Structure 1
């Protein structure tokens, strides 16, 4: 093997690795199963969830907000604290019913929280209202390449909604116990 051939082997190897790396990035971007959360998923808190959301206790609060994903879950989501810069663990903000992370409730219904759906490119923000038992939910699409939409509706009313499919930012005022969330593939 000549000197010129031996010198080209590392160059070919380096180019092959670079192309392989680019291919992996392209596949990862187009693969819907890639999870990009910055934090581990929250642990279920079934007893706490049941206390707030299931009518089996004498001091049950009919107005405590409870959420259910009709499509999607909190599996790849980051739960953001009400105060920027303050360190929280996902479990400190929301209480999940079980490991499916489909149903959840806030630990403190008087504090704002945000759910950052990393893979789907959307954020849901909960804004409690002090003077009523109602609250606002804001949905935002921050990834312009997202193939998902985020829809939030009050229980038993699919016409009143916040829908990121019709606008990048949408809000809904909710006064029901349960709120339904759809994180669905759109196009």
Structure 2
């Protein structure tokens, strides 16, 4: 009977190792993902709230020192895929998390863009940007040709390549996907979308 009570107690707090740190998360993907990273799910609280009418999901890590870089990358990978952020976790923790999040977010976006191109342009290889192999302007013209867009549909400003809105260029989605798949960030360039002014 004593064993059963101990087992039931562990299930209730969902953290057998430390009953003082119960797991408060309800998203099983997050719990499994954090455990895969070697992170105790009890280290964070899961928060879902409406901000300006939109659902905002994030974790709060309180009283937790920043994890080593590989663990932060793993955490970022899990949260990017689950569309969660980190907030109210202290400046030190958030500063250590930011570069890991940026790297994993770029990989995620590049993967989504590549998948879009495989689905909508099967068998075609989008242009690749090679630093020293041509200018950003030359690359923009290659993207326009690849997507069948109007000449000069992409605009350049400094280190940024700006993709037009769908209303202005029917091939905007292709241009955006091809530019993001090229991972221009790696070469110090940004991909932006036009905005209504």
Q: Which has the higher helix share?
A: 2
Q: Which has the higher strand share?
A: 1
TM-score, normalised to structure 2's length? 0.21
TM-score, normalised to structure 1's length? 0.21
Structure scoring higher RCO (CA < 8 A, sep ≥ 6) equals 1
